[in-house]
Amino acid sequence: MASKKIGEVILDVQNISLSFGGVKALTDISFNVREHEIRAIIGPNGAGKSSMLNCINGVYQPQQGSITFRGQTFKHMNSRQVAEMGVARTFQNLALFKGMSVLDNIMTGRNLQMKTNVFQQAWRFGAAEREETAQREKVERIIDFLEIQAYRKTPVGRLPYGLQKRVDLGRALAMEPQVLLLDEPMAGMNVEEKQDMCRFILDVNDEFGTTIVLIEHDMGVVMDISDRVVVLDYGKKIGDGAPDEVRANEDVIRAYLGTSH
Ligand SMILES: Nc1ncnc2c1ncn2[C@@H]1O[C@H](COP(=O)(O)OP(=O)(O)OP(=O)(O)O)[C@@H](O)[C@H]1O
Ligand SMILES: [Mg+2]
């Protein structure tokens, strides 16, 4: 990790507050993410972690604050715009098409990159056909990278959970993101599946230089692979810094002692 070159701030979250009726999901949250780093967001259940990712990728619109991405500041993000800016996301609860093959699921991540329109695609003439071939080659490369060649034609619903999570990562990677938001990519996995997922996250970060924002409950994993950690509790930020700093933070220890994590 020490050899990794961490760059400028790519994503800057400023004073974000979000509430649902009376529930304050996020209160005045600020933190930044630097290019090429693995930035973890941790905190007990209901702390606001997923809500934070949902603000970044335009699914939720915060009542206050702003988000700056590569120097451009937004009050509200819009999902399509966010994707076009190179931010991709995996979900805490898988959002895959269970009846579709691994290949087709990952292909859905390429939609934004497809330049020809639906009419051309339907006829598969000329440019559209060439483009489809090029897109498939990119998807095949992701399938090789994630070592899921053997399952490329298998309907996703038939795969074990750990592999489904890997396909979800593949769908996000197909967007060729600069920033990848991962919401509990290792939840529900056994030790071996977690090790595999850790390795893929590190490889994505290393080989493609992708900046990663990672929500994860497994403290061993977080302390191992992240460069910096933000800690949320009841929608407030209670810690921010290198893994060692955060681990020694009294407020963080207290928040974690009060929960099952
Ligand atoms: N769409 C919504 N409508 C109403 N309340 C919501 C909504 N989304 C989140 N909340 C509330 O906001 C708070 C933060 O939820 P969030 O899902 O962001 O937490 P989390 O840290 O991701 O928790 P977990 O570790 O369980 O995934 C919770 O009190 C939750 O009930
Ligand atoms: Mg969550």
| pLDDT value of position 2 | 47
| Residue from 29, 41, 51, 56 to probe ligand 1 pocket by mutation (most atoms less than 8 Å from CB) | 51
CA distances to 22, 61, 182, 211, 226 from 231, rounded to whole Å, are 22, 21, 16, 19, 13
What residue ranges of the chain are covered by domains with CATH 3.40.50.300? 1-86+177-261
Give me ligand 1 centre to Cα 46, in Å: 5
Give me ligand 2 centre to Cα 75, in Å: 22
Q: Residue 250 has which token pair?
A: 């009294």
Residues 6+ apart with CB under 8 A from 229: 39, 40, 41, 42, 222, 239, 240, 241, 242, 243, 246
Instruction: Round the CA-based radius of gyration of the chain to a whole number and report it.
Output: 19
Among 46, 44, 49, CA closest to 31: 49
Please tell me whether residue 206 adopts helix, strand or coil conformation. Answer: helix
1-86+177-261 is classed in which CATH architecture? Answer: 3-Layer(aba) Sandwich (3.40)
What whole-number distance in Å separates Cα of residue 237 and Cα of residue 43?
Answer: 9
| Residue from 19, 20, 236 to probe ligand 1 pocket by mutation (most atoms less than 8 Å from CB) | 20
| pLDDT value of position 40 | 98
DSSP summary character for residue 48: S
Please, what is the end-to-end C-alpha distance for the chain in angstroms? 26
Among 233, 95, 113, 118, CA closest to 168: 95
Give the mean pLDDT per block of 10 residues along the chain (261 residues).
78 97 96 98 96 95 95 88 90 84 91 56 64 85 96 96 94 94 93 95 96 94 96 97 94 78 49
The pTM (predicted TM-score) of the whole model is 0.90
Ligand 1 binding pocket includes 172 (Cβ within 6 Å):
no
| pLDDT value of position 140 | 94
Give me ligand 1 centre to Cα 51, in Å: 6
| pLDDT value of position 114 | 57
